[in-house]
């Protein structure tokens, strides 16, 4: 009985800390004027939507795992993730002592094995627990939450959690050649892809991030104590908004890739990432900002006056003021001078974005002990969201 009481007290006092953060961005940054030449033009004319979308999202540079000279892939998703983990090793972490490897991504390199196992194989480190989390933008923070809960429960003493994306692999112009050729042959519409597919070609890019989680803080330098990680799904309320490997029917349901013939996969670009832009604009703020913040406020878990830094992962600067307005509706106003993002210089890297944002701030020397950080990670796939509260120690 005595040992059980001691174990219970240990669990009540156990804390989890982010002690190191690393990011890996492949190759050199790609400016707006070079994007289409790197990704490849679709059809016989440049995209008509590109300039409009870039003007809206205000991204100035991003990174692609593509050789701009040859157009060939330079890194797989697993390779980029492994590189981010190796960066932790260069910061002093012993990656051979990893007890848990938790990896989140939107699009792994293959259907199976899972992404974490492929990353483990790339690293070649000793046996450890490995878990992959599925999803879109939330997959990265959910891998982090898995590691957080594992350490909190006393199952492990450390964890490396990652978020990574290699979106360019399915955004290349050559991937759409069969679709545009089929359109031209049918003479039913011009040889260009639909806006919901072209839209995301100018929004998404590649990158990976990794954090070292530990049951003890750094001996020297700052650590980030994880206070809590909150996630909510609103899939029971709304239709699918962002998807790949499927087509959306008029009733809002998805018809998955297995229901199509292989030739249709090419002719209809079934595996392209698609976005229902109208649904996104109508619902993203209400269901990923206002409603969850109202719930957190009702629970007494947040006070906007106590937040030192707000780290939002929004896909486009188009949403910056809209996010702020949604926060004000929830009576949770954080002045924008407390916001930190690197979207314009690092691009929208999906599940890796919050890691890449955190890495830049954490290693900037700007954080002070006692400051609190609130991270906001929305996902438009079928509308879900996460908030993570950290304290600098």
**What is the spatial distance between Cα 294 and Cα 74, in angstroms, rounded to a whole number?**
44
Topology agreement, domain 2-220 and domain 228-239+274-392: yes
Domain boundaries, the chain: 2-220, 228-239+274-392
Sign for the pseudo-dihedral over CA of 311, 315, 317, 320: negative
Asked whether residue 387 carries a pLDDT value surpassing 50, the answer given is yes
Q: State which fold the 228-239+274-392 domain adopts.
A: Peroxisomal Thiolase; Chain A, domain 1 (3.40.47)
Average pLDDT value for residue range 11-37? 94
The DSSP line for 327-350 is HHHTT----GGGB---HHHH-B-G
Mean pLDDT of the chain: 93
pLDDT of residue 94: 98
DSSP structural state of residue 189: S
Query: What percent of the chain stands above pLDDT 90?
Result: 87
Structure confidence at residue 90 as a pLDDT band (50, 70, 90): very high
CATH 3.30.460.20 holds for 2-220: no
The token pair at 200 is 């995301």
Residue pLDDT, tens place only, 361-370: 999 999 999 9
pLDDT of residue 256: 97
- b (16+ CB within 10 A) / e for 68-81: eeeeebbbbbbbbb
In this structure, the number of other CB atoms found within 10 A of the CB of residue 19 comes to: 22
pLDDT of residue 178: 72
Residue pLDDT, tens place only, 242-251: 999 999 999 9
Measured CA to CA in angstroms, residue 120 lies from 81, 112, 127, 151 at distances of: 10, 14, 9, 20
Residue pLDDT, tens place only, 31-43: 999 999 999 998 8
Q: Is 55 helix (H, G, I), strand (E, B) or coil?
A: helix
Asked whether residue 390 carries a pLDDT value surpassing 80, the answer given is yes
pLDDT of residue 187: 46
The token pair at 345 is 């210089």
**What is the spatial distance between Cα 130 and Cα 43, in angstroms, rounded to a whole number?**
42
């Amino acid at each position: 009985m005595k040992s059980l009481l001691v174990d219970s007290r240990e669990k009540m006092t156990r804390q989890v800390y982010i002690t190191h953060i690393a990011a890996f961005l492949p190759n050199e940054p790609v400016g707006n004027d070079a994007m289409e030449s790197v990704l490849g033009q679709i059809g016989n004319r440049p995209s008509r939507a590109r300039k409009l979308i870039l003007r809206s999202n205000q991204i100035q540079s991003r990174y692609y795992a593509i050789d701009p000279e040859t157009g060939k892939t330079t890194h797989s998703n697993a390779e980029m993730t492994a590189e981010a983990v190796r960066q932790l090793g260069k910061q002093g972490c012993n990656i051979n002592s990893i007890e848990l490897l938790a990896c989140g991504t939107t699009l792994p390199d293959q259907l199976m094995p899972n992404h974490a196992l492929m990353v483990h194989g790339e690293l070649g480190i000793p046996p450890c627990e490995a878990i992959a989390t599925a999803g879109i933008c939330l997959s990265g923070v959910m891998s982090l939450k898995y590691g957080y809960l594992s350490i909190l429960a006393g199952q492990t003493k450390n964890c490396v959690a990652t978020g990574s994306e290699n979106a360019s692999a399915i955004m290349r112009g050559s991937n759409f050649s069969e679709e545009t050729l089929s359109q031209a042959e049918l003479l039913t519409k011009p040889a260009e892809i639909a806006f919901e597919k072209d839209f995301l070609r100018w929004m998404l890019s590649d990158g990976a991030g990794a954090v070292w989680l530990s049951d003890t803080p750094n001996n020297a330098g700052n650590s980030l104590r994880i206070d809590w990680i909150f996630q909510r799904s609103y899939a029971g309320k709304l239709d699918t908004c962002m998807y790949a490997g499927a087509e959306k029917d008029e009733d809002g349901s998805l018809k998955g890739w297995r229901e199509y013939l292989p030739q249709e996969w090419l002719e209809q670009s079934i595996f392209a990432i698609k976005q229902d832009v109208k649904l996104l604009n109508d619902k993203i703020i209400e269901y990923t900002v206002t409603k969850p913040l109202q719930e957190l406020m009702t629970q007494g878990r947040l006070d906007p006056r106590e937040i030192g830094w707000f780290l939002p992962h929004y896909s486009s600067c188009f949403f910056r003021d809209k996010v702020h307005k949604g926060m004000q509706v929830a009576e949770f106003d954080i002045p924008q001078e407390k916001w930190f993002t690197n979207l314009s210089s690092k691009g929208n890297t999906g599940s890796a974005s919050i890691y890449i944002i955190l890495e830049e701030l954490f290693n900037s020397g700007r954080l002070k002990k006692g400051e609190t950080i609130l991270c906001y990670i929305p996902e438009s796939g079928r509308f879900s969201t996460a908030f993570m509260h950290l304290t600098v120690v």
